[in-house]
Amino acid sequence: MKDKREQTIGRANVLPVSSTVLLPNTESTLLMAKADRDYAKHLGTIGETDIALPLKQGVDHGNLKADDFYRMGVLLTTGAISEGDDALQVQAQTAERIEVKELRIEGSIVTCTYEPAPARIDLDDKGREEILDYMKKVVHEIATGFPGGAQFDEMVKGYTDVDALIIQLARFMPLSPEERYGLLSADSLKERSLLFIDQLIRQKESLELNMRLNEKFSEEANKRYREQVLREQLKAIESELNSEDGETASKKDYRARIEASDMPDEVRKAALEEVGKLEASGSEGFEQSMIRNYLDFMLELPWKREEPVPVDLKAAREVLDARHYGLDKVKERIIQHLAVTQLKADKRGSVLLLVGPPGTGKTSLGKSIAEALGREYIRMSLGGIRDEAEIRGHRRTYVGAMPGRVLESIKRAGTTNPVMVLDEVDKIMPGGFSGDPASALLEVLDPEQNNTFTDHYLDLPYDLSDVFFIATANSIDTIPAPLLDRMEMIQISGYTPDEKFHIGREHLVPEVLEDHGIAESQLTIGDEALREIIEEYTVEAGVRGLKKQLAALARAASEKIVEGDGDLPYVVDTEVLEKVLGRKVSHHERAQADNPAGVVTGLAWTPVGGEILFIESTDMPGTGEVTITGQLGDVMQESARISLSLLKSRLPLGAAGFKEHDIHIHVPSGAVPKDGPSAGITLFTALASLATGIKVDPKLAMTGEVTLRGIVMPIGGLKEKLLAAQRAGINKVLIPDENVQDLKDVPDEVKDQLKIVPVMTVEDVLKEALGIELPRVEHALMSSAALPQRAPMV
């Protein structure tokens, strides 16, 4: 290929150069960022010639225009190209100066036409010699002020060409791109020489100023160092004259304290290595405070495993019963867990998960367990944390590093076997830039791993296998499956009104009176008033709202007591409630005196307890269209369609009129979203009542999922639904046959007031609700393998 430098007018590819300006006849290594790599693809192959053309400052590399380039550049011969981690490295040799005549930009390809532009030689031999000597003299004055400058001075003495010396010195000077381009664009040797001499003199003055400042700073630093040394000597003399007491000395003697501690050998060895670093570093070394904080933390951590203490199950049961009313199943499960721990002292995996609505006593149960076991109680709230370092801590390489909250809590407890409550584990924020705290908990709660738990700050294994972990959550929906798998779940359901009454009377009222400084002889809350607060002024599964309402009564009473207004005790009855607490906030549906045909009472579960609801259906002349309203979810709408299909198959004559009628199904309250399959038999019964015109007893309620075969499937929340039925004045309830086993969780006072009838198929439902007896479709209860051939439809 013909060399482009031999042409008067040439064409070549252009390499845009930013942040610097290449001077002629130099060897350079160009670093091209990722954004500029597209240009590198169009460079000539090794040995070919291109144009290195500088860019103006502040241009957009992604949208280059001709005006973004300077016009003076240099010829560039590309050498080796290598791939770096963050940039492309291009070895290049520049040649003479050129002037660009025309630029063409097509995508990422930039080409140009150019012609050589050598500088005019307008200095004679004497002028070149004088300028050369002057530049060497200035360089000598600069070099004498630096160690090793003599070698640089000797190198400069060998130059006899002014242009070559300018280019050589410019490589070592901190010139801006504009100053370098000024050297490149100078048209004559004289102009370039005078411009460079000006830059060289300014560089010399800047260096001299910096040297004077450094000398002054060094004097100040030496003065401060002398003062510091004298203070240390004075401190040592005072220490000798006034010997420290034994306790202070022992605190500072890390080596002796570590040797006397109960640390495992591996940990003790690592701690002694840190002591060695502390002793080797200066008194004011950078790592002094960091090492001291680390050693203090290691020494404050409990390392000695506690001896197993026999658990008195009877005493533990008494503690749980005294602190918590009801929750019999939960307390029994906890007692069983303690019994297993007693039989196998080294049992691992003491991780319980208490799941239930707010205010049901999950956190206080953990405190009661600690009291029953005679262990230290610590609580760690996990709600809202989003940083993995909250669990594992920070590495000590970071400034201000701290241990994680797990080991920090162990340190506060001062024992290796506390009861640690991990509160609100379902409210951990999902992982992001700072790591995933839920994943960090996997090692903490895994019995196979937590005996060697490694905190980033401690960076040594710590045994958590003796810790009794109790996690609490309102829902398991947001808990990651791997984390949930490591915990044993105990479900805590909402309290019944009767349980709330006893909790309020036996626990909350005395607690509220004590919190407000009121004696029992000064305030009396009647039983009827307490029950009305529970029924009409709270809507919750727990008792937190009840406590707030009792506190409002206590505040009103405290005002009366302080002012001496009225006789004591201040009595709270039902007439006082509305005056103090305001209007009632709770509204519960009640069974109607009469339900028209097409209306049936159902049962629903909510997070704050059960409720009854009315399934309403009606028909009107039309084309068989079905309308479903009441903010029903997809599952509930499917149940309505299944019920209609099932009705047409079971009562074809009664449903025949639906072909010429539109059907409208509605579930009040319309503003509340509703979903779930448990209203299946209620929807079926409502449509059957509408088709036959037979009314359903308003004191009858039902719940159960229905299949297209007519099978009644089991449902959840039976306890809450039966409580709602009792409260609403229902006398008879239809439940799925498979839910009979769940009746043991229902209080006896509820079962005594309700007639509970289990049903297996929709035929059983029709018989109980409408008095219609149909032969049971046998294949509904048979397996698919035993189904006979289908008979022709009549």
- Given 491, 507, 527, the domain boundary residue is 491
Tell me, yes or no, whether 230 lies in a domain.
Answer: no
pLDDT number for residue 245: 47
Is pLDDT at 35 greater than 60 in this prediction? no
Residues annotated as catalytic (active site), given as ranges: 678, 721
DSSP string, 470-536: EEEES-STTS-HHHHHTSEEEE-PPPPHHHHHHHIIIIIHHHHHHHTT--TTTEEE-HHHHHHHHHH
Name the strand (E) or helix (H) holding 49. strand 49-54
Q: Over the stretch 491-532, which tens digit does the pLDDT of each residue have?
A: 887 787 788 888 899 889 999 999 888 888 888 888 888 888
Q: Same structural domain for residues 613 and 713?
A: yes
pLDDT number for residue 410: 92
Instruction: Give the count of beta carbons closer than 10 Å to the beta carbon of residue 215.
Output: 9
pLDDT number for residue 43: 62
Q: Of 61 and 769, which is predicted with more confidence?
A: 769
Q: Same structural domain for residues 251 and 274?
A: yes
pLDDT number for residue 284: 57
Q: Same structural domain for residues 757 and 623?
A: yes
- Given 84, 101, 116, the domain boundary residue is 116
Tell me, yes or no, whether 406 lies in a domain.
Answer: yes
Q: Over the stretch 677-701, which tens digit does the pLDDT of each residue have?
A: 889 999 999 999 998 889 999 999 9
Q: Same structural domain for residues 577 and 702?
A: no
Taking residues 131-150, report their average pLDDT.
78
- The band of 780, judged by pLDDT with boundaries at 50, 70 and 90, is very low
C-alpha–C-alpha distance, residues 64 and 68, integer Å: 6
Tell me, yes or no, whether 181 lies in a domain.
Answer: no
Tell me, yes or no, whether 790 lies in a domain.
Answer: no
C-alpha–C-alpha distance, residues 235 and 721, integer Å: 78
Number of domains the chain is built from: 5
Minimum mean pLDDT range among 185-199, 282-296, 368-382, 683-697: 282-296
Q: Over the stretch 432-487, which tens digit does the pLDDT of each residue have?
A: 677 788 888 888 888 888 888 989 999 899 998 888 899 999 888 888 888 888 88
Looking at the chain, the whole-number percentage of residues with pLDDT higher than 90 is 16
Q: Same structural domain for residues 486 and 509?
A: no
Q: Over the stretch 695-730, which tens digit does the pLDDT of each residue have?
A: 999 999 999 999 999 999 999 888 888 888 888 889
Among candidates 20, 194, 204, which has minimal Cα distance to 94? 20
Is pLDDT at 55 greater than 70 in this prediction? yes
Overall size of the chain counted in residues: 794
Taking residues 67-93, report their average pLDDT.
81
C-alpha–C-alpha distance, residues 279 and 268, integer Å: 16
Q: What is the CATH number of the domain that holds 21?
A: 2.30.130.40
Is pLDDT at 46 greater than 60 in this prediction? no
Taking residues 583-606, report their average pLDDT.
82
Is pLDDT at 62 greater than 70 in this prediction? yes
Q: What is the CATH number of the domain that holds 692?
A: 3.30.230.10
- Report the side by side order of strands in the sheet with 488-491: 377-381, 419-423, 468-473, 351-355, 488-491
Distances in Å between the Cα of 490 and the Cα atoms of 331, 423, 487, 606 are 10, 15, 9, 19
pLDDT number for residue 91: 81
Tell me, yes or no, whether 194 lies in a domain.
Answer: no
Tell me, yes or no, whether 154 lies in a domain.
Answer: no
Minimum mean pLDDT range among 241-245, 553-557, 664-668: 241-245
pLDDT number for residue 45: 55
Q: Same structural domain for residues 617 and 705?
A: yes
Q: What is the CATH number of the domain that holds 368?
A: 3.40.50.300
Q: Same structural domain for residues 485 and 504?
A: no
Domain that holds residue 28: 4-116
- The band of 251, judged by pLDDT with boundaries at 50, 70 and 90, is very low
Q: Same structural domain for residues 616 and 725?
A: yes
Q: Of 203 and 616, which is predicted with more confidence?
A: 616
- Given 86, 101, 116, the domain boundary residue is 116
Residue 83 has what DSSP assignment?
A: E
Minimum mean pLDDT range among 153-162, 247-256, 365-374: 247-256
Is pLDDT at 11 greater than 60 in this prediction? yes
Q: Same structural domain for residues 358 and 292?
A: no
Q: Over the stretch 309-320, which tens digit does the pLDDT of each residue have?
A: 777 888 888 888
Is pLDDT at 735 greater than 90 in this prediction? yes
Q: Same structural domain for residues 612 and 642?
A: yes
pLDDT number for residue 334: 81
Tell me, yes or no, whether 174 lies in a domain.
Answer: no
Minimum mean pLDDT range among 93-97, 227-231, 615-619: 227-231
Q: Same structural domain for residues 478 and 390?
A: yes
Taking residues 21-34, report their average pLDDT.
79
Q: What is the CATH number of the domain that holds 537?
A: 1.10.8.60
Instruction: Give the count of beta carbons closer than 10 Å to the beta carbon of residue 458.
Output: 21
C-alpha–C-alpha distance, residues 433 and 629, integer Å: 44
- The band of 6, judged by pLDDT with boundaries at 50, 70 and 90, is very low
Tell me, yes or no, whether 193 lies in a domain.
Answer: no
Q: Same structural domain for residues 776 and 631?
A: yes
pLDDT number for residue 212: 76
C-alpha–C-alpha distance, residues 361 and 382, integer Å: 17
Which residues make beta-bridge pairs with 90? Answer: 30, 81
C-alpha–C-alpha distance, residues 413 and 627, integer Å: 62
